[in-house]
A and B are shown apart, each in its own frame.
Chain A
Amino acid sequence: MKNRLKVLRAERDWSQAELAGRLDVSRQAVNAIETGKHDPSLPLAFRIARLFGQRIEDIFDDGDHHD
């Protein structure tokens, strides 16, 4: 699943370790999400969305648009 996590993190000048600590996950998990190797659970996706003050669908894109 594509996402804007790396961009949002870069905008705040946060390292992966900083973001990982704020989300209470490992740095490896942040890296895996950013590179699309791991799709976060719904609770983690909500934590990410709240941390960046955005909606989940504004951060994550499953490529399935029905507009």
Chain B
Amino acid sequence: MMETIMTSDQAAPLSGEERTRRRRRRQWMYFGVAVILGAALGALVSAYDSGGGDLFLGDYTSLRLDPALSLVLAAGFLLGFVFLPLWGFTQIDEMQREQNMIGFTGGCVAVLGCFPIWAMLHAGGHAGPPDAFGVFAVGFSAMAISFFYAKFRP
């Protein structure tokens, strides 16, 4: 019974080029959703912060948000920084997955190393105390550098 049902794919098999175009469209949609989500979260934080902080410049301690809104925003960042990238991993091919894994490895290693190194530098008077946003920024930067190294290495 199931075999007799015709889907549009069965009726007209897609060419390889059309499949590639669809893959490219999906990728751009992913980027679009990520950009829109990021812009929306940033705009909401900026619009509803009553403390004069700035999440993206590291002044997160001054941020003051309505408790309910803060939960919504936390859920949004969970979606944007955890679930969206993990889902993205299922949508890419093995080469892109390898490049992304190298990027994530760079970010992870940077975060693991950043805190103790920074703490030692602080203990010796070479730097201020370790800062959560600073560790995040180092991890994010290392992730981006590692990814672009993997993507464009000769």
| Chain A interface (Cβ < 8 Å from any Cβ of B) | 14-15, 17-29, 32, 38, 40-41, 44
Contact = CB atoms under 8 A, between A and B. Distances in A.
Nearest to A31: B95
Q: Binding site of A, secondary structure by majority: helix, strand, loop or mixed? A: helix
B15 A21 contact: yes
Contacts of B94: 25, 29, 40-41, 44
Interface residues of B, number: 15
A38 B93 CA distance: 12
Contacts, number: 50
B61 to A, nearest CB: 42
Interface in B67-99: 92-96, 98
A23 B92 CA distance: 13
Contacts of B15: 18, 21
B66 interface: no
B9 interface: no
B3 interface: no
Interface in B1-48: 14-21, 23
Contacts of A44: 94
B16 A26 contact: no
